């Protein structure tokens, strides 16, 4: 596995540990531009074809780069499980 792939796998593991399916996020169609759109994740993150960390979000038919989403709020995966959110 290339060094870049290891970094991507770590980023995905970190995202999935912190944010589960249904996490509130702000999605930017163009990374870093505009206000973005509030939405929710609809999958766990994964590495697409060895080159990009991605996740599925509501309102978008394909996957999006993790760079294009920012978590909203502080509720993480473990909190949702214990609070029944």
Burial of 53 (0-12, 13-18, 19+ CB in 10 A): buried
pLDDT per position as a tens digit, 35-74:
899 999 999 999 999 999 999 999 999 999 999 999 997 5
Q: What share of the chain is helix, strand, coil (3-state, %, to 5)?
A: 30, 30, 40
CATH of 3-83, one of 1.10.8, 2.40.160, 2.60.120, 2.30.30: 2.30.30
pLDDT bucket at 76, cuts 50 / 70 / 90 = low
């Amino acid at each position: 596995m290339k060094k870049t792939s290891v970094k991507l796998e770590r980023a995905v593991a970190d995202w999935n540990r912190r944010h589960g399916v249904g996490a509130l996020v702000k999605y930017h169609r163009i990374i870093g531009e505009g206000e973005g759109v509030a939405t929710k994740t609809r999958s766990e993150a994964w590495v697409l074809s060895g080159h990009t960390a991605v996740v599925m979000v509501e309102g978008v038919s394909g996957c999006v780069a993790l760079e294009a989403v920012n978590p909203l709020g502080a509720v993480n995966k473990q909190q949702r499980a214990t609070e029944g959110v």
